[in-house]
Amino acid sequence: MANETVTAAKGFLAAGVACGIKSSGRMDLGLIHCPEGATAAGVFTTNKITSASVNVCRENVRRGQIKAFVVNSGNANACTGKVGRANAMVMCKKAAKELDTDQGSVLVASTGIIGEQLPMRKVAGGISAAAEKLAGGETAGTNFAKAIMTTDTEPKQGARVFEISGEEVRIGAAVKGAGMIGPNMATTICVITTDAVISKPLLIKALKRAVGASLNRLTVDGHQSTNDTAVIMSSGQAGNKIIKSQCPRYRKFLKNLIDLSRELAEKMALGAEGATRMFQVNIEGAASRKDAAKAARAVADYDLVKCAVHGADPNWGRIICAVGSSGVRVDGTKLSCYIGDVAVFRNGQPTRFDRKKVSDIIGQEKHEITVDLGAGTCSDYCYGCDLSREYITVNADYHT
């Protein structure tokens, strides 16, 4: 498939420009336009402190048709008080004026440094420049994906094409995020476009399911940002029979949406700050689903596990320590741990295993850690990545 960007779906134009928010001169303002209007849904950070852009976006996405989405990088517009809120609204207003629509039909997101006011003259100039550059096609879509990047090393995007009721349906997406990523929502910023004909309630349902099965499962450093935003916009131009119940058409749409979201989550894990590899933590035999999720996250978040993965070191004791420390119910006489398919700890007893083989498994781009708590029948999973010196370099040496 040629176009694997946010312009893959019919009815969407995109642009990315550099307007000077980033001192590096890189692209820092992205715009998506859906001239015929789109049904939209969003999920946002559960951090108690939310950016001004999250607040304005949350209000506008609840309204009717959405025409545009404006995103800036390099500045989070968070912890910026009343001035910040006014600036987020000015961003919507400026985009609305350029695109001849009303400001309530414009969504907004910001990502970057917390606590500084947006340079609004530059932002306004950027919105005008982006509006002029709006186009379909791969280049325009990729420019949008580049414009929302912060410490990401490359644009993260993808698309799916499939048939519903004999019509070709497309989903395109761009995502950014390399640090400050914890589950329970999201992914700093994720923009999904589709031309599927689907009712708003089902669109919301599908977005929540897809985010829950992908971006919510990813932890890079365990914390949600003040700005996490995932939005889906549907132009309805595919011409398929409308999806308005949880019928087979919905399930096909959902399957493709989840599949694409997981692809993006994996790209985020592998592209995380300093990450050289990723891993999936599976918890089985938990007393409850909640216990399983808690234990999985405890393992994926644990710096000592992340360091061991970085060193391809089969130091499974750290995995057990993380599980035990998480406070979930465990039967110590049944507790078992597997790295890949190798049992390293079984029924509370260490096994003899081939350390070289397990080190090779950990050394792969992606591997699975499975822990059986022996306390029930519930399971859950989570994605994590290794912790390297490069993470420290990115986050300590780069001064604000």
Give contact residues for its own copies (rule: CB under 8 A): 46-50, 76, 78-82, 113-117, 179-180, 182, 221-226, 298, 301-304, 307-308, 310-311, 313-318, 320-325, 327-330, 332, 335, 344-345, 348-350, 386-389, 391-393, 395-400
**The tokens of 398 are what?**
């780069």
From the candidates 187, 219, 226, 229, which is the catalytic residue? 187
* Residue 171, SS3 per DSSP: strand
**The tokens of 53 are what?**
């852009």
Active site residue 188: no
Question: Residue 399: is it exposed, middle or buried by C-beta count within 10 angstroms (0-12/13-18/19+)?
Answer: exposed
DSSP β-bridge partners for residue 42: 231
Question: Residue 259: is it exposed, middle or buried by C-beta count within 10 angstroms (0-12/13-18/19+)?
Answer: middle
Closest to its own copies by CB, 226 vs 280, is 226
Can you tell me the distance from the alpha carbon of 84 to that of 184, in angstroms, rounded to the nearest whole number?
A: 25
Closest to its own copies by CB, 107 vs 185, is 185
Can you tell me the distance from the alpha carbon of 33 to that of 135, in angstroms, rounded to the nearest whole number?
A: 9
Can you tell me the distance from the alpha carbon of 122 to that of 111, in angstroms, rounded to the nearest whole number?
A: 16
DSSP 8-state symbol, 242 = P
Can you tell me the distance from the alpha carbon of 152 to that of 277, in angstroms, rounded to the nearest whole number?
A: 15
CA nearest to 315, candidates 326, 328, 296, 302 = 302
* Residue 56, SS3 per DSSP: helix
CB of 275 to its own copies, least distance (A): 12
Which residues belong to the active site? 187
